[in-house]
Amino acid sequence: MAQLRFTMLCVAALCAGGCGSSDEPGDTGTPGTGASTTSQSSSGAGGDGQGGTGGGDATTTVVVNEISAKGGDWIELGNTGPGSVDLGGLGLCDSDESGKCNTTDALRFPEGTQLAPGAYLVVLGDQAVEAGPGPHTTCLPDGDLSSCFYATWKVSASRGETVYLISANDQVLARLEYPTEAAADGQTWGRLPDLTGEGAVTAPTPGEANAAP
């Protein structure tokens, strides 16, 4: 009887330490934190949730304001905010076959590139790689631009594309879609009202406020 009582006391003590528990020696993870620990990184979303990579909620007051895909290849950015924006490290790209930003050929703005409030910046497309991003003083033949930047790609009017402004880690900050054959020769596609509106057919106004044709 004494031996039976001793055995029952030992069993009770063992059960108090976890008898019937599902925790087994083969379980993974740190005790007290669940079976496993897995971290996930977000991709594909950023800014407006289209294209690019990288997480976070980065924002900018700079918009893709006007696109010329016929009779001259150029893109205009505009700053809608009350303060200057440092574009250094930010990129500008067209869309690849999947519709996302072609980060491989993106123009990267040099450090120290500033865009004042209410100001515009023009990027010429289809330029030689050797020329570099700029800034350059050789810009559009008929215009009053004192400086501009160069991109190696251009927007396809026949295919239709989206132009993206991306952060240093390729997160989409702003974009403007150029629909297929959106504008005729001598016309552009830009925001109306200027800087704030949706895309519409516009008269070419590089470096100036958008206007209806």
Whole-angstrom Cα Rg for the chain: 28
pTM of the model: 0.74
Average pLDDT of 54-71?
84
Domain range list for the chain: 62-197
- Of 23-37, 120-134, 153-167, 199-213, the poorest mean pLDDT is in 23-37
**Cβ pair 163, 176 in contact under 8 A:** yes
Phi-psi region of 10 (alpha: psi -120 to 50; beta: other; left: phi over 0): alpha
Task: Give the CATH fold of the 62-197 domain.
Answer: Immunoglobulin-like (2.60.40)
DSSP state at residue 109: P
